[in-house]
Amino acid sequence: MAKETKITAETSKEELPSNVETLKSMVLTLLEQIDDLTGQLHYLKRQLFGKKSEKLDPAQRLLFEDMYEEVKAKVEQQREEKAEPVKKTGRKKKHNGRNPLPADLPRETIKIEPSEEEKICPVCNTPKEVIGSETTEVLEYVPAVNRRFKLGHYERVQNGSVKPVVIYYF
């Protein structure tokens, strides 16, 4: 064969050989390189993104099966000896809802009962029994009021005359 020319991406058409046989051999070598590089790429992708777990032969597990049973029995026996109830030291549950009202606030009890008609069973006309009750605390907000007392200033007129007042004209 004739001399091999190095082909790169920057090689122009004029630099390529004109012999067909040479061109065919160059194409074949380039295809081999592409196949090699594609294989390397697939291998590296598998290494980088493939499964990381080791593949074990199922027959390999049988090698240590008798030892496994002995160790498992010993571990179970040790667990039974050490078995103590574990105390739970969990977190306190979150309090959902409002905090209770302070005990020092004044409280007023208002009992709301059903009417007399609702206390009697409409079917058998006997009085109904109290099963349960609901207790609700409601905070009633009364805004503060600033009271200002205005006192009238009165003078008593004596002798029927009024004090003289100076009137200015501008």
Say what percent of the chain tops pLDDT 70.
Answer: 84
**Confidence at 73, pLDDT banded by 50, 70, 90:** confident
Residue-number span of the structural domain to which 43 is assigned = 17-48
Is 30 within a domain?
Answer: yes
- pLDDT value at position 2? 47
Q: Report the alpha-carbon distance of residue 118 to residue 135 in Å, rounded.
A: 20
Tokens of 1: 């064969």
Residue with tokens 């030291």: 89
60: helix, coil or strand?
helix
Is 77 within a domain?
Answer: no
Is 79 within a domain?
Answer: no
Task: Look at residues 50, 46, 43, 2 and name the one whose alpha carbon lies nearest to residue 26.
Answer: 2
Is 62 within a domain?
Answer: no
Is 67 within a domain?
Answer: no
- pLDDT value at position 53? 61
Q: Quick one: average pLDDT of 151-167?
A: 71
Is 94 within a domain?
Answer: no
Is 101 within a domain?
Answer: no
Total domains present in the chain:
2
Task: Look at residues 40, 37, 29, 24 and name the one whose alpha carbon lies nearest to residue 6.
Answer: 29
69: helix, coil or strand?
helix
- State pLDDT tens for residues 13-49: 888 888 889 889 989 999 999 999 999 999 998 888 8
Average pLDDT, the chain: 81
